Amino acid sequence: MSMVTDYKEDRMVELRRSKEAERLKRIKDPAQRMAIDTAALEAQVAEKAAAKAAEQTRTAVYDDSRLYMDQQLVYLEQERRAAEKIKAAAVDEFRATMQTKAQGRDFDLNDPNALKVGAPARLGDDDPRLSVSGMQKFHGEDLGHAYKIKAQREEIAASNGALAAAKASAKAAMQAEEAAFAASMLQIDSMKVELEQTAQDARSKTNRAVSEYNQAQAAARTERERALQIRDQQQNVEEIQEQLAGQTLTEDPLVGRSFIAPNRLRPDHYKGMAPEEKALVISEQEAQRAANAVAKAAATTDKADSDAALEAIRLERCAGEARVANMRAEMRKRMMLENKELAASQGASKAFLESAVYPNAITEEFFSQFNTTSR
Please state, in angstroms and as integers, the Cα–Cα distance from residue 18 to each residue in 12, 15, 34, 272, following that order.
10, 5, 23, 132
Q: Is the pLDDT of residue 4 over 60?
A: no
C-alpha to C-alpha distance for 375 and 20, rounded to whole angstroms: 9
Q: Is the pLDDT of residue 252 over 50?
A: yes
Mean pLDDT of 205-228: 87
Looking at per-residue pLDDT, the higher value among 49 and 143 belongs to 49
89 sits in the region (left: phi over 0; alpha: psi -120 to 50; else beta) called alpha
Q: Which residues of 92-115 are buried (b: 16+ CB within 10 A; e: fewer)?
A: eeeeeeeeeeeeeeeeeeeeeeee
Q: Is the pLDDT of residue 266 over 60?
A: yes
At residue 2 the predicted structure's pLDDT band, cuts being 50, 70 and 90, is very low
Q: Return mean pLDDT, the chain.
A: 83
C-alpha to C-alpha distance for 190 and 307, rounded to whole angstroms: 118
Residues facing 265 on adjacent strands = 257
Please report the pLDDT score of residue 36 as a whole number: 63
Looking at per-residue pLDDT, the higher value among 342 and 256 belongs to 342
At residue 259 the predicted structure's pLDDT band, cuts being 50, 70 and 90, is low
| Model pLDDT for residues 301-334, shown as the tens digit of each residue | 999 988 888 988 988 889 889 999 999 999 999 9
Q: Which of 117, 139, 121 is nearest to 129 (CA)?
A: 121
Please report the pLDDT score of residue 210 as a whole number: 87
Please state, in angstroms and as integers, the Cα–Cα distance from residue 157 to each residue in 166, 167, 168, 297, following that order.
14, 15, 16, 135
Residues 6+ positions from 157 with CB-CB distance below 8 Å? none
Please report the pLDDT score of residue 82 as a whole number: 94
| Model pLDDT for residues 138-195, shown as the tens digit of each residue | 777 776 778 888 889 999 999 998 999 999 989 998 988 888 888 888 888 888 888 8
Please report the pLDDT score of residue 86 as a whole number: 94
Looking at per-residue pLDDT, the higher value among 192 and 134 belongs to 192
Mean pLDDT of 125-132: 76
Would you give the DSSP letter of residue 355?
I
Q: How far apart are the first and last CA of the chain?
A: 34
Mean pLDDT of 338-362: 82
From 59-63, 157-161, 260-264, the region with the lowest mean pLDDT: 260-264
Please report the pLDDT score of residue 198 as a whole number: 86
C-alpha to C-alpha distance for 366 and 373, rounded to whole angstroms: 16
Q: Which residues of 267-305 are buried (b: 16+ CB within 10 A; e: fewer)?
A: eeeebeeeeeeeeeeeeeeeeeeeeeeeeeeeeeeeeee
Q: Is the pLDDT of residue 3 over 60?
A: no
Mean pLDDT of 80-104: 89
Q: Is the pLDDT of residue 264 over 80?
A: no
Please report the pLDDT score of residue 135 as a whole number: 72
Is the sign of the CA dihedral 290, 294, 299, 304 positive or negative?
positive
Percent of the chain with pLDDT over 70: 86
